[in-house]
Amino acid sequence: MKSSRNVMTFAGGIHPHGDGKSLTCYTPVQNAPLLDKYFVILAQNAGKPPIPVVKKGDRVKKYQLLAAADGAVSANLHSPTSGIVSNIRDIQGTHGVPTSAIEISADGLDEADSPFAPIPDWRHADVDILKQRVIEAGIVGMGGASFPTHVKLSPPEGKSVDTLILNGAECEPYLTADHRLMQEFPEKVIRGAAILGRILNIGNIFVGVEINKLDAIAALEHYAGDYGVKIAYLRVRYPQGSEKQLINAITGRTVRSGTLPMDSGCIVQNVATCAALDDAVTLGIPSVERIVTVTGEVVVKPGNFKLKIGTPALEAVRFAGGITEEPGKLVFGGPMMGFAQRSFQVPVCKNTSGILLIPQKQAYNFESSGCIHCGRCVQGCPMNLVPCLLSTAIEAGRFDLAAENHIMDCMECGSCAYVCPDHRPLIQNVRHAKAELRKQMNASKEK
Amino acid sequence: MTDVDNDNIKLPTGEKLVLSSSPHLSSGSSLRKIMGGVLLALIPQIAASAWLFGMRALFIIFYTAVCCVAAEALWCKLADKDVWRNISDCSACVTGVLLAMCLPVTVPLYVPPLGAILAIWLAKQVYGGIGNNPFNPALVARVGLLIALPAAMTLWTPSRGMKQTNYPEKQLFYTAENIKKINNGEPLDGVSCATPLGVMKSIEKITDRSFKAEDNFTELDSWEMISRYAVGDRAGCLGETCAPALILGFFILVILNLINWKVPVIFIGTVMLITGTVNAIWPGVSPNPLFHLLNGGLLLGAIFMATDMVTSPITGRGCAVFACGCGILTSVIRLWGNYPEGVSFAILFMNALVPLIDRWCGKRPFGFVPKREKVNAHE
């Protein structure tokens, strides 16, 4: 294993110029004032959405269970504040389609009533109790995938996991939520990692941080020793925070195509997930709020805000002082992999790391005239694919050729489209082909 | 909850929101910037050609570029394509300048329009325009013109330095004194001469190519001649003679990340390796490798033509194979072929192989483990 003083990295990738982090990385996290209404979307986790346990007109306290997990790959939802369930209806979701949400009218008291007690002595607590807490508290991956965390904590029989990696790379431009979290609440992050290590029975714990966050690294190092956690310095390179690239950079292991990180003995968790886990265990509060970067060149006072789940984007922009001009794009997440939204009414979810407003002049659809085979996408691809030829095959309808050339290994990081001088719709094509291939696969299964 | 200064806050309405796929950022590179970079890298050689061959060189370069842009515009007009979008990416302009680089300064004015039609129509637009052409348009035009109009394309005139000082007679019969002798003391209208590679070829044809004939090329590849070639002081096409200017262009291209540096380096390296080996073993067959480096279109072809993004392979390994092939073919044509120059034929031939090379030299995806044997046990 490499020494932790080395700056580690992976092959390929890009370095976005003007990454926009300086807009928000120097200002402390601000608490947001209480709103009148919150819209808690049910389908916040990967897998099955939870089933509501409250009905219209019910009085709820802060932290009270709103919806219970439906099956193993699902996560509980809790109330962000006290008030009345004023409606359960379809609203505009984060993926562009209407989705079911619980509308809470706040009573302004913010009265807390946690369904479970803190476990201050987690070092000696039963592992099953800790695991149960992760399930109860509705912890999901807060880096973007929102995969229920407890699923990752139960490796199947025969798979041994020896390394836990905390993802503090935050390689997405503009986002600084994880940066501020690590700098202002380092102990939560480190302790959350230690709790995860205890659950998984792993002593080999790394926090991977890109070296553009030296102040956060210094804050983490203050606590790292006490909890037996190591800090891994990462080169500033997108997509450094991708699971496979992170594992490769820190441990030198290669996650084989078509397998899970677990198969290479590694588990990766986002730092925000660890902080939420620490809250759930040591304070006994479920996951109902997160730090969100509200940023963009058109935002008056960009910054990081502790937002309750269910805060509409419009209110988040209001906390950030409004706008200077009408934005051309609203993105949930970072600019490289985030989702463009239809409306400012879309609420914050557990995986919303950023709310990014993009000026109109940058928000038009490019026209493409033809691939000139410059090969920049090939240099940029962290998965060693050849995006330009894949895309040409897809445009010709040759999904079989795309599959043969490993299109399923693409993680849609967008490095290729970022560098493309012709602004080809490379990622759109990849998504199209993946959907088409899945459809074909399902059709052949049914036969 | 209402803020105190709520009224002063301007909030978005969401009316202008664009929905599109990620990524929402772009590096800001564009075809126009890439082509502009290539033109920038050509400026040293353009200046050198004006200095070596006179102001007519500048006129020919400008005229050829205009012809190519006009050919592109005319085709787009006829084919009902967006004219401005197609010419504003500057690719036709680059093709024009590169084509001019392959013409002699004496070229008749009807040649560049013919070349433009060959380059833009036959080599580029019939395949579907930018990005779809299998062959380098400028080279297709050059080879087409060379075959159709050999006399006009090979009428060389002496460069600046050759007129002033005495040159070996085999290369330039009409030195200052000779001219006066021939024309009863009166100056001539024009003077033509041969390129060093042409001289090499004629020596090969008239002399006994016995492997022991060590003095076949002594007048061509002496140190004095090499030092003259090095500054571009020889007959040749507009863009191929001045090595320092071309090498400066190479560094500009590499710094702007417009070419894969491996292509020129491997191309030239292969030619020098082969000619050097042949020269060492049979000095009567080939002049020394420095002669080959500095003569003909090797530098121009290796730096500006073989590196053309559209017609060269995509992966690094593919580029290495491609450049190596170019080098081998160039050497073979120069030493044993019928034409004195082989760079353009070599590049065009390798262009044709690019799709195959791309297939052979693919990349192994991160985490991909090739199956050594097919496992059919469970089926």
> Which of A36, A331, A384, A398 is most worth mutating to test chain B (most B CB atoms within 10 A of its CB)?
A384
What is the rounded CA–CA span in Å between residue B120 and residue B71? 6
Whether residue A300 is contained in a domain is answered as: no
- Tell the burial category of A444 from Cβ atoms under 10 Å away from its Cβ (0-12, 13-18, 19+): exposed
DSSP B120: I
Provide the pLDDT for residue B192: 66
Question: Which residues in chain B are closer than 8 Å to A406, comparing Cβ atoms?
Answer: 365, 368
Provide the pLDDT for residue A232: 92
Nearest to A374 by CA among A426, A411, A410, A432: A426
Given a cut of 50, the residues of chain A with pLDDT beneath it are 1-4
Cβ within 8 Å, pair B17-A341: yes
Whether residue A292 is contained in a domain is answered as: no
Domain ranges of chain B: 31-153, 157-193, 196-235+259-356
Residue that finishes a domain, picked among A283, A309, A324 = A283
Cβ within 8 Å, pair B31-A422: yes
Whether residue A423 is contained in a domain is answered as: yes
Question: Which residues in chain A are closer than 8 Å to B34, comparing Cβ atoms?
Answer: 372, 374, 421
pLDDT tens-digit readout, B161-211: 666 555 555 455 444 555 555 555 555 556 666 777 877 777 766 665 555
Q: Which parts of A212-301 are beta strand (E)?
A: 229-234, 266-270, 289-295
- A52 has a chain B CB within 8 A of its CB: no
> Which of B6, B9, B11, B17 is most worth mutating to test chain A (most A CB atoms within 10 A of its CB)?
B17
Residue that finishes a domain, picked among A235, A264, A283 = A283
Provide the pLDDT for residue B336: 85
Question: Which residues in chain A are closer than 8 Å to B367, comparing Cβ atoms?
Answer: 244, 254-257, 259, 383, 409
Q: Are residues A162 and A265 in the same domain?
A: yes
Judge whether residue B116 has pLDDT over 90: yes
The predicted complex's ipTM stands at: 0.83
The CATH number of residue A130's host domain is 3.40.50.11540
Cβ within 8 Å, pair B29-A358: no
- A422 has a chain B CB within 8 A of its CB: yes
Bigger pLDDT: B321 vs B177: B321
Q: How confident is the model at residue B14 (pLDDT cuts 50, 70, 90)?
A: confident
Question: Which residues in chain A are closer than 8 Å to B6, comparing Cβ atoms?
Answer: 318
What is the rounded CA–CA span in Å between residue B251 and residue B246? 9
pLDDT tens-digit readout, B38-74: 999 999 999 999 998 889 999 999 999 999 999 999 9
Q: Are residues A259 and A380 in the same domain?
A: no
Q: Which domain holds residue A263?
A: 7-27+118-283
Q: How many domains does chain A have?
A: 2
Question: Which residues in chain A are closer than 8 Å to B315, comparing Cβ atoms?
Answer: 375, 378, 386
DSSP states along B60-84: HHHHHHHHHHHHHHHHHHHTT--HH
Considering only alpha carbons, which residue of chain A is nearest residue B32?
A: A421
Cβ within 8 Å, pair B20-A340: yes
Whether residue A333 is contained in a domain is answered as: no
Give me the percent of chain B exceeding a pLDDT of 70. Answer: 82
Whether residue A123 is contained in a domain is answered as: yes
pLDDT tens-digit readout, B337-373: 888 788 999 999 999 999 999 888 888 888 887 665 4
B234, two tokens: 């020889």
Residue that finishes a domain, picked among A262, A283, A304 = A283
What is the rounded CA–CA span in Å between residue A187 and residue A86? 38
Instruction: Output the average pLDDT for chain B.
Output: 84
Q: Are residues A278 and A398 in the same domain?
A: no
Cβ within 8 Å, pair A326-B15: yes
Provide the pLDDT for residue B7: 61
Whether residue A402 is contained in a domain is answered as: yes
Whether residue A234 is contained in a domain is answered as: yes
Mean pLDDT of all residues in B250-277: 94
Considering only alpha carbons, which residue of chain B is nearest residue A18?
A: B27
Considering only alpha carbons, which residue of chain B is nearest residue A336?
A: B23
Considering only alpha carbons, which residue of chain A is nearest residue B24?
A: A335
